[in-house]
Amino acid sequence: MVGFLGVLILLFAWLAVPRPYQPEGQEVSAQDAPELHALVGRVAAELGVARPVRVVLDGQANASMGLAGWRREPVLALGLPLWWALSPQGQVGLIAHELAHLRNGDPARGGVVALAFSVLERMAHALLPDGISRSKEGLIPMVTNALMTLLALVPLGAARLLAWLVGADRQAAEFRADLMATRVAGSEAMVVLLDRLHMAHLLDSALHKQRYMPERPHAFAEYAFMLDHLPQEQWAAQRAALGRTSLDDSHPATSDRLQVVLSHPQPGTVHLAPKTAEWIRLELTPFVRPIEAQAQEWRQYLLNH
């Protein structure tokens, strides 16, 4: 028993060692995509924040902003599926919303709170039995898996409690980011962006269709096509279902976010010309195939586990 507790203490000590955030995805440099980096710079200047030192691309229908490395340098992550599914002003709004988090006081994006979330997440991940452990038969593996699952509930519960304690501040940060992005991109573009964020589940359908019945150049174009041609009845049903729905616990209800954006109509201060938007799309095209392949691999992994 003493040895087991010693192992747990050593595990906690290892997991508690601070580790710098490193975003996943493929970096796109200013040489690779000068127009994209110029747009990011324009939006950053408009918001009065530092330009991200890196921009990375991934296969998610989302975007994020993080502080990477020991020097905590801002890194912007853009999901190519979502980028392909947005209008030029929607793309401005996406960048503006993420950059706005650099100055709007989100408690979970830095400092002690972010470190605590990271440690608790790593602890829970280390304690939860993986697929191989769960597949083992016999009494001892069954008891061991049950015990480890119970132990994992401790960091999971602590993370849940911490999220509840800072929840109001995190949601307020999202409202502020929405308003700042609305000023930059315009309220109309932000409404469409918030709408489309709730259709991320269609990306799985787009990946499946592109794998077995391709009609578009790639899955991200298929995803954009699906959103552009979604029946109005389905959009209406989705909006009606939003109610108190949020993207996750850190975000306010989308209906509230939409109400805030619509109550502050703005024309936008940074306008992306269609020609420039097309240039950016051409700059990002070489990254589509490898990122699409990674998204397909991840989808197959999830289906098999």
Rounded Cα distance between 304 and 206, Å, is 18
Rounded Cα distance between 52 and 127, Å, is 35
Exposed e or buried b for every residue in 52-85, given b needs 16+ CB within 10 A? bebbbbbbbbbbbbbbbeeeeebbbbbbbbbbbb
Q: For residue 215, tell me if it sits in a domain.
A: yes
Please give the sequence-ordered ranges of beta strands (E in DSSP) within the chain, or none if there are none. 26-27, 54-58, 63-68, 73-79
Q: For residue 31, tell me if it sits in a domain.
A: no
pLDDT number for residue 99: 95
Which region among 19-23, 122-126, 139-143 has the lowest average model confidence (pLDDT)? 19-23
Domain interval for residue 173: 80-104+167-304
How many alpha carbons fall within 13 Å on the CB side of residue 115? 11
Q: Is the pLDDT of residue 2 over 70?
A: no
Q: For residue 130, tell me if it sits in a domain.
A: no
pLDDT number for residue 108: 46
Q: For residue 214, tell me if it sits in a domain.
A: yes
pLDDT number for residue 42: 97
Q: For residue 41, tell me if it sits in a domain.
A: no
Place of tokens 């936008």: 268
Residue 148, classified by CB atoms within 10 Å of its CB into exposed (0-12), middle (13-18) or buried (19+), is middle
Q: Is the pLDDT of residue 47 over 80?
A: yes
Q: For residue 64, tell me if it sits in a domain.
A: no
Q: For residue 43, tell me if it sits in a domain.
A: no
pLDDT number for residue 1: 54
Rounded Cα distance between 81 and 220, Å, is 5
The C-alpha angle 267, 271, 275, rounded to 5 degrees, equals 140
pLDDT digits (tens, 9 = 90+) for 198-227: 888 899 999 999 999 999 999 999 999 999
pLDDT digits (tens, 9 = 90+) for 256-265: 888 889 998 9
pTM over 0.85: no
Mean pLDDT confidence for 59-63: 94
Rounded Cα distance between 143 and 298, Å, is 31
pLDDT number for residue 32: 96
Number of domains making up the chain = 1
Which region among 97-111, 126-140, 240-254 has the lowest average model confidence (pLDDT)? 240-254
pLDDT number for residue 34: 97
Q: For residue 51, tell me if it sits in a domain.
A: no
